[in-house]
């Protein structure tokens, strides 16, 4: 890791020259202590460790086929750190969405469609977040043997993007930096916006809650997490929210496909490239799409 000078930490940028006097050295130590105080209890995870190893990521997807309401639910989770939060989301989140939708259809008949979808998704993600936190405390917490390990019990989380496909609508709920992209007539249409800490509205929300966005290689909540919303990550609440953003899009005859993926894809593949490759696969040009993808990733 590069040197820490005046509280600035970076793994990728060249370190700035530090003053060599004893007074400067004391000032640097004070700044380092302040930085550690701001970040609070930071777990020794692959995201924060002084290591060149790539963080371990698992992506889990579930598909709930069309029910009697002719709605299909698709969801994608990006599991961070080392525990099975994404597996829990895969097993439960679509069931929670289904439960909330059934209740909302019976209890809020006069409610506007957009508000009804938003309310149902909010409740689903909130219930999933509470289940994950309770599971972390009950199952993961039991394996912690000392105070030094305790923060790790709450340092597990997952992004989630859920898509409900009806005969005429696509409803997407996103929490984190997973993404939904609709391919329409060969052109990508983003149906979600990544929750990054440097988004103006996210920055303001974090600051209003008493938190800070600190640049450590990339903007991070309290210098730790590179996304501003997630399921779990209890040690960063209330700055990291589990509230999803919901979009509703009309379906058309020109829609090719819907892509749901985590940042493991979007960090290296653009929306245009992903849409083009998916369209070629749909047309039976799988080998050509592989060649195009390899060429684009070399650029």
Q: What angle do CA 172, 165, 275 make, to 5 degrees?
A: 70
Q: How confident is the model at residue 220 (pLDDT cuts 50, 70, 90)?
A: very high
Assigned token pair, 164: 């409900």
Q: Are the C-beta atoms of 260 and 161 separated by less than 8 Å?
A: yes
DSSP state of 199: S
Q: Which residue has tokens 């005969």?
A: 167
What is the tens place of the pLDDT at every residue in 243-278? Answer: 999 999 999 999 999 999 998 899 999 999 999 989
Joined together, the tokens standing for residue 213 give 């966005």
SS3 189: strand
Q: Which domains does the chain have, with CATH numbers?
A: 1-39 (no CATH), 58-177+193-252 (3.60.40.10)
Residue 139: per-residue pLDDT: 60
> Using one digit for the tens of pLDDT, what is the confidence trace for 151-210?
455 668 899 999 999 999 999 999 999 999 999 999 999 999 999 999 999 999 999 999
Q: In whole angstroms, give the CA distance from residue 211 to residue 86.
A: 26
pTM for the full predicted model? 0.69
Helix%, strand%, coil% for the chain, nearest 5: 40, 25, 35
User: Under a CB-based contact definition with an 8 Å cutoff, are residues 103 and 203 in contact?
Assistant: no
Residue 76's pLDDT is 58
Inter-helix orientation angle 85-107/113-135, to 10°? 140
DSSP letter at 143 equals G
Rounded to whole angstroms, how far apart are CA atoms 194 and 188? 15
Q: Are 94 and 62 in contact (CB under 8 A)?
A: yes
């Amino acid at each position: 890791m590069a040197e820490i000078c005046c509280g600035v930490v970076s793994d990728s940028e060249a370190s700035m020259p530090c003053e060599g006097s004893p007074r400067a050295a004391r000032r640097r130590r004070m700044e380092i202590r302040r930085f550690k105080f701001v970040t609070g209890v930071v777990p020794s995870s692959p995201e924060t460790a002084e290591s060149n190893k790539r963080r371990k990521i698992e992506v889990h997807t579930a598909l709930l086929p069309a029910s009697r309401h002719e709605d299909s639910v698709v969801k994608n989770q990006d599991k961070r750190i080392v525990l099975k939060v994404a597996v829990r989301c895969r097993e439960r989140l679509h069931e929670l969405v289904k439960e909330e939708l059934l209740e909302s259809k019976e209890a809020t008949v006069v409610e506007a469609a957009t508000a009804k979808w938003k309310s149902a998704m909010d409740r689903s993600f909130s219930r999933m977040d509470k289940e994950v936190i309770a599971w972390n405390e009950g199952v993961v917490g039991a394996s912690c043997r000392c105070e030094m390990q305790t923060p790790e019990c709450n340092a597990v989380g997952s992004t989630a993007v859920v898509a409900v496909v009806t005969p005429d609508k696509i409803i997407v709920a996103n929490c984190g930096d997973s993404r939904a992209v609709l391919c329409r007539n060969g052109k990508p249409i983003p149906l979600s916006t990544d929750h990054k800490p440097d988004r103006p509205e996210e920055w303001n929300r974090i600051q209003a809650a008493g938190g800070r966005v600190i640049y450590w290689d990339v903007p991070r909540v309290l210098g730790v997490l590179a996304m501003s919303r997630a399921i779990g990550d209890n040690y960063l609440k209330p700055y990291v929210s589990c509230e999803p953003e919901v979009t509703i899009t009309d379906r058309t005859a020109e829609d090719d496909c819907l892509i749901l993926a985590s940042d493991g894809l979007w960090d290296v593949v653009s929306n245009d490239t992903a849409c083009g490759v998916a369209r070629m696969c749909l047309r039976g040009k799988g080998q050509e799409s592989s060649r195009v993808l390899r060429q684009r990733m070399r650029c």
